[in-house]
C-alpha cells in the first residue's frame, strides 16, 4: 500500500473514504512495521498537542466521548459490515476525539486484534538462532524456551524467556524491547546483551555488551552500562551489579565454546547436561568441593571430561547413558 501523500489517511479520518480504503488502511496499520510506526507518530503528535496547546472549547468531556462512542457503536451494529467498521471506529475514535480518549488508546499495545503468541523450545544438546519481524536477532542456548507475539505491539516489543539467550535488538527509540523472565524485566531500545534465566536455577544474570539496559525486578530498577553484569538471587531477592573485564565471555556459548570461571562442579555438571544432553551421578560428595576455570571448544563430552580431569583429582567415567563422578 502506498501512502506517500497521506490522502487515504486524511479521507478515512474525515469519514469520506470508501469501505475498501478503510479496510486497506486498517490492514496497513496492523500488519506492517511502517504502518505501526505511522500510527505511533500520529498518537504521539496528538498527545503532545493535548499537553502543550489545550483548547477547552474544542475538547470533549468524558460523558460526551462516551455518548459519541455509543452512537458510533449503534450505527456500526446496524450495518452488515459491522466487524470491519468496528475496527475502523477503534482507530478513528482516538483521532477524532483525541482529547477525551487519546491517552487511553495510546497506552494500548494491541489496538487491532487479540495478541497471538508463538513459542520455540530448544532441547538439551542443541542450540538455535531466530529472527523477529522487527529485525531483532536471537541466539538460543540448549534447554531454552522463548514465547513471543506474532505481531509486536505499537508501544512495546515483549518476549518471555526461560533459559539462556543472546539478543541483538533492532533499534527503535519509540518501541522498547522487553525480555520478561520470572518476575524480572530487561528493557532496551537497541542493544546486544545476554540473559541467563533458567527456571531451575537460583539466579538470573544479564550481561550487557552494547547500548544501555534497565533491569527491573518488582519495584526496583537498575540501569546498566556496557561491560556490566547484573545478578539477581531469586531466593534472597538480592541484586548485584558489577563491572566485567571480559563481558563477551558470558556469550561464548553461541560460538559453541564452553567457558567456566571459578565455577563449582555442581554448576559445571548442569551446564554439561544441557549442552550434551547427558546425565551425571555423583558418587562422592567431596567432589562437589572443587571449582573449575576452563575455556574450551571440544566437539564431544569425552574430550571435555578429559580437560576437566587435568584440573582436579575428580574422575569421570561414562557408563552407558550415565556419567559417574568420583574421587
Domains of the chain: 7-106 (no CATH), 117-248 (2.60.120.1440), 256-326 (3.55.50.30)
Q: What is the DSSP pairing of strand 192-197 with strand 184-188?
A: unpaired
Burial class (CB within 10 angstroms; exposed 0-12, middle 13-18, buried 19+) of 243: exposed
Q: What is the DSSP pairing of strand 128-131 with strand 184-188?
A: unpaired
How far apart, in Å, are the Cα atoms of 180 and each of 138, 156, 215?
A: 14, 12, 10
Q: What is the pLDDT along the chain (327 residues), one digit of tens a residue?
A: 554 446 777 776 666 767 777 767 776 666 666 666 676 666 556 555 544 444 444 444 444 455 545 555 555 455 544 444 444 444 444 444 443 444 444 444 444 556 789 999 999 999 999 999 889 999 999 999 999 998 888 888 999 999 999 999 988 888 899 999 988 999 998 889 999 999 988 999 999 999 989 999 988 999 999 999 999 999 999 999 999 999 999 999 999 999 999 999 999 999 999 999 999 999 989 999 999 999 998 788 999 999 999 999 999 999 877 999 998
Beta bridge partners of 292: 263
- 3-state secondary structure (DSSP) of residue 245: coil
What integer pLDDT is reported at residue 321 of this predicted model?
A: 78
Instruction: Measure the CA–CA gap between 255 and 171, rounded to whole angstroms.
Output: 24
What integer pLDDT is reported at residue 66 of this predicted model?
A: 53
Burial class (CB within 10 angstroms; exposed 0-12, middle 13-18, buried 19+) of 11: middle
Instruction: Measure the CA–CA gap between 126 and 56, rounded to whole angstroms.
Output: 61
Q: Where are the beta strands (DSSP E) in 211-297?
A: 213-217, 220-224, 228-233, 239-243, 258-264, 279-282, 291-296
**Total residues belonging to the chain:** 327
What integer pLDDT is reported at residue 231 of this predicted model?
A: 95
Quick: pLDDT tens for 73-113: 555 455 544 444 444 444 444 444 443 444 444 444 444 55
Q: Which of 168, 164, 108, 89 is nearest to 134 (CA)?
A: 168
Cβ-based neighbour number of residue 306 at 10 Å? 13
What integer pLDDT is reported at residue 156 of this predicted model?
A: 87
Amino acid at each position: 500500500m502506498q501512502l506517500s501523500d497521506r490522502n487515504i489517511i486524511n479521507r478515512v479520518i474525515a469519514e469520506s473514504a470508501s469501505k475498501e480504503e478503510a479496510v486497506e488502511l486498517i490492514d496497513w496499520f496492523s500488519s506492517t512495521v511502517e504502518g505501526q510506526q505511522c500510527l505511533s507518530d500520529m498518537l504521539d503528535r496528538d498527545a503532545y498537542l493535548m499537553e502543550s496547546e489545550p483548547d477547552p472549547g474544542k475538547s470533549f468531556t468524558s460523558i460526551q466521548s462516551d455518548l459519541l462512542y455509543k452512537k458510533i457503536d449503534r450505527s456500526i451494529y446496524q450495518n452488515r459490515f459491522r466487524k470491519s467498521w468496528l475496527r475502523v471506529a477503534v482507530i478513528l475514535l482516538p483521532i477524532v476525539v483525541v482529547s477525551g480518549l487519546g491517552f487511553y488508546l495510546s497506552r494500548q499495545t494491541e489496538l487491532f486484534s487479540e495478541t497471538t503468541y508463538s513459542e520455540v523450545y530448544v532441547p538439551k544438546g542443541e542450540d538455535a538462532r531466530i529472527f523477529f519481524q522487527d529485525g531483532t536477532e536471537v541466539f538460543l542456548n540448549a534447554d531454552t524456551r522463548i514465547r513471543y507475539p506474532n505481531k509486536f505491539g505499537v508501544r512495546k516489543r515483549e518476549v518471555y524467556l526461560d533459559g539462556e539467550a543472546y539478543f541483538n535488538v533492532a533499534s527503535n527509540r519509540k518501541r522498547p524491547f522487553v525480555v520478561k523472565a520470572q518476575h524480572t524485566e530487561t528493557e532496551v531500545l537497541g542493544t546486544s546483551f545476554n540473559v541467563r534465566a533458567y527456571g531451575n536455577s537460583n539466579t538470573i544474570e544479564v550481561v550487557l555488551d552494547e547500548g544501555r539496559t534497565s533491569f527491573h525486578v518488582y519495584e526496583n530498577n537498575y540501569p546498566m552500562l556496557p561491560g556490566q553484569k547484573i545478578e539477581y538471587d531469586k531466593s534472597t531477592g538480592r541484586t548485584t551489579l558489577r563491572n566485567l573485564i571480559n563481558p563477551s565471555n558470558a556469550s561464548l556459548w553461541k560460538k559453541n565454546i564452553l567457558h567456566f570461571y571459578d565455577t563449582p562442579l555442581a554448576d559445571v555438571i548442569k551446564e554439561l547436561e544441557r549442552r550434551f544432553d547427558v546425565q551425571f551421578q555423583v558418587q562422592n560428595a567431596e567432589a562437589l568441593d572443587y571449582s573449575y576455570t576452563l575455556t574450551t571448544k571440544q566437539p564431544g563430552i569425552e574430550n571435555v571430561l578429559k580437560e576437566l580431569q587435568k584440573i582436579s583429582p575428580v574422575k569421570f567415567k561414562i557408563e552407558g547413558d550415565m556419567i559417574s563422578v568420583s574421587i
